[in-house]
Amino acid sequence: MGPIQLFSSFLNGATLALYHGSPLGRGFCKFVQDARVSVLGSVPSLVKSWKAGNLTEGLDWTKIRVLATTGEASDIDDNLWLSSRTCYKPIVECCGGTELASSYIQGSLLQPQAFGAFSGASMSTGFVILDEQGNPYPDDLPCSGEVGLFPLYFGATNRLLNADHDKVYFDGMPIYRGRQLRRHGDIIQRTVGGYYIVQGRADDTMNLGGIKTSSVEIERVCNGADEGLLETAAVGIKPSGGGPEQLAILAVLKDRSAPYDANILKGKFQTAIQKNLNPLFRVRVSLSKVQFT
């Protein structure tokens, strides 16, 4: 969301407040108060951290007139807590991608908002929801499926440095009204009331801490975390109550009769991932003993 953050600030004559440090601590929360921030963007994992540490206790966030969140699925209870810090100001949900330089679906202050949901397409964006055969559902029908974006999109990529752009984003996508749709990979649900909820990914990627990563990358790192491992599988699990995906590692041991300590193995996975991939990823380990025949 970096490009749209800059563009919107400049176009509206706003002041962009920059904090030097980690947004996970109370220092950032106090900065929001002292800088008299009026529009605050966030990531659900940050909000969860602020809430868990009660980091806004004693701070005045009443200057904030609107909140926004992006990067991963929101937790409804966390959104309610965040809104309560600002005397229940609205939260605008945004969902997009680096390759789009913006969001393709978001909330709008011109419409009633619902926590953890999007109220429509972003400005100048068009999309359809596809069924399993690649056919678009009618625009007014409650449904769930992979999203297909209209190909004309201001700010979207038209080339990649290390891959074939057309193969990544267009090959295999259906033609809709004479134009080939652009692949994004999200599975979204359109509710009876016309709101949208992102349900996950259609490919082997997952969203952890607001960062999209591949299960293959995580498995490569975890396979080398302990010499007693035969193989691992990384799975992104969506909590039943909504919110950011949780990372689960299913591990198969070479010696199924050997004793193991789940906490020790979890620590090894966590260390390997933090060292080789991203220090913000957190692991929940599930061990599986497989019967070989």
pLDDT for 263-277, tens place per residue? Answer: 888 889 989 988 888
* Residue after which a domain boundary falls, among 70, 89, 108: 89
Structural domain boundaries enclosing 280: 205-288
Residue 109 has pLDDT above 80, yes or no: yes
Say which CATH number the domain at 270 has: 3.30.300.30
Inside any domain, residue 156: no
Of 6-10, 53-57, 132-136, minimum mean pLDDT range = 6-10
More confident residue, 147 or 253: 147
Instruction: Give the DSSP H or E segment for 218.
Output: helix 215-223
Count of C-beta atoms within a 10 Å radius of residue 98 = 11
Inside any domain, residue 27: yes
Inside any domain, residue 183: no
Inside any domain, residue 211: yes
Inside any domain, residue 37: yes
Residue 40 has pLDDT above 90, yes or no: yes
- Percent of the chain exceeding pLDDT 70 equals 95
Inside any domain, residue 98: no
- Domain count for the chain: 2
- pLDDT tens digit sequence for 48-104: 999 999 999 999 999 999 999 998 888 999 999 999 999 999 999 999 888 888 889
Give the N- to C-terminal CA distance of the chain in Å, as an integer: 50
Across all residues in the chain, what is the average pLDDT?
88
b/e string for 260-277 if b means 16 or more Cβ within 10 A?
beeeebbebbbebbeeeb
* Residue after which a domain boundary falls, among 36, 55, 89: 89
pTM assigned to the model: 0.82
Residue 18 has pLDDT above 50, yes or no: yes
Say which CATH number the domain at 4 has: 3.40.50
Q: Which amino acid is at 91?
A: I
* Residue after which a domain boundary falls, among 41, 68, 89: 89
- pLDDT tens digit sequence for 204-223: 788 776 677 888 889 999 99
Strand partners, 292: none
Inside any domain, residue 120: no
What confidence score (pLDDT) does residue 133 get?
A: 93
